Amino acid sequence: MAKGEKVIAKNKKARHNFFIEDEYETGIVLSGTEVKSIRAGKVNIKDSYADFKDGELYLYNMHVSPYEQGNIFNKDPLRTRKLLLHKRELRRLIGLKQTQGYTLVPLSLYFKKNKVKVELALAKGKKVYDKRHDIAKKDAQRRMQKATRVSHRGE
């Protein structure tokens, strides 16, 4: 994590459910009460995804809880939010998504110089056997680390 960045929310399931091909840092359009609620950590990006509509990129299903002191200024918690990318990057992502069947998944939400940023991943879905293979690999790695720790203690 670079200096001046504070992670607010992470999508831990994304790396389990998808092969991550590429990552992008995007800005996000928010209202004032949404930013205050996000500062308080009341945000969930677990089931969210990004998609194109009218040539622009939007984030769907990101839940930002209403701000307690927000009264009439609070927005719908599940509303779609516009993501900000350079036009060149948008064109590239549109082409990849249409031709090769990629999905755009948010990996994390963080503050960078007092601006809310979304780390967006270009990803392909994993099959069940891919997930099992990854779990087996992690389990084997864990067992090897445990065995080396036990052998070092004996010396």
82: which strand partners?
58
Query: For the ranges 7-16, 25-34, 47-56, 68-77, which has the lowest average pLDDT?
Result: 68-77
Choice between 71 and 154, residue whose per-residue pLDDT is larger? 71
Query: Would you say 106 and 15 are in contact if contact means Cβ atoms under 8 Å apart?
Result: no
Residue 146 lies in a domain: no
pTM, two decimal places: 0.74
Note down the domain range covering 94: 5-125
Residue 155 lies in a domain: no
Confidence at residue 2, expressed as pLDDT on a 0 to 100 scale: 62
Query: Would you say 123 and 21 are in contact if contact means Cβ atoms under 8 Å apart?
Result: yes
Q: Does the pLDDT value for residue 155 go beyond 60?
A: no
Residue 152 lies in a domain: no
Confidence at residue 70, expressed as pLDDT on a 0 to 100 scale: 64
Q: Does the pLDDT value for residue 154 go beyond 70?
A: no
Q: Is 69 helix (H, G, I), strand (E, B) or coil?
A: coil
Residue 131 lies in a domain: no
Alpha helix (H) residue ranges in the chain? 14-17, 32-39, 87-100, 128-154
Residue 143 lies in a domain: no
Residue 148 lies in a domain: no
Q: Work out how many domains the chain is built from and give that number.
A: 1
Choice between 131 and 44, residue whose per-residue pLDDT is larger? 44
Q: Rounded to the nearest 5°, which phi and psi values hold at 137?
A: -65, -45
Instruction: Give tens-digit pLDDT for 101-124.
Output: 788 899 999 988 888 899 988 888
Q: Which residues contact 36 (CB under 8 A, 6 or more apart)?
A: 67, 69, 70
Q: Please report, for the domain that includes residue 75, its CATH number.
A: 2.40.280.10
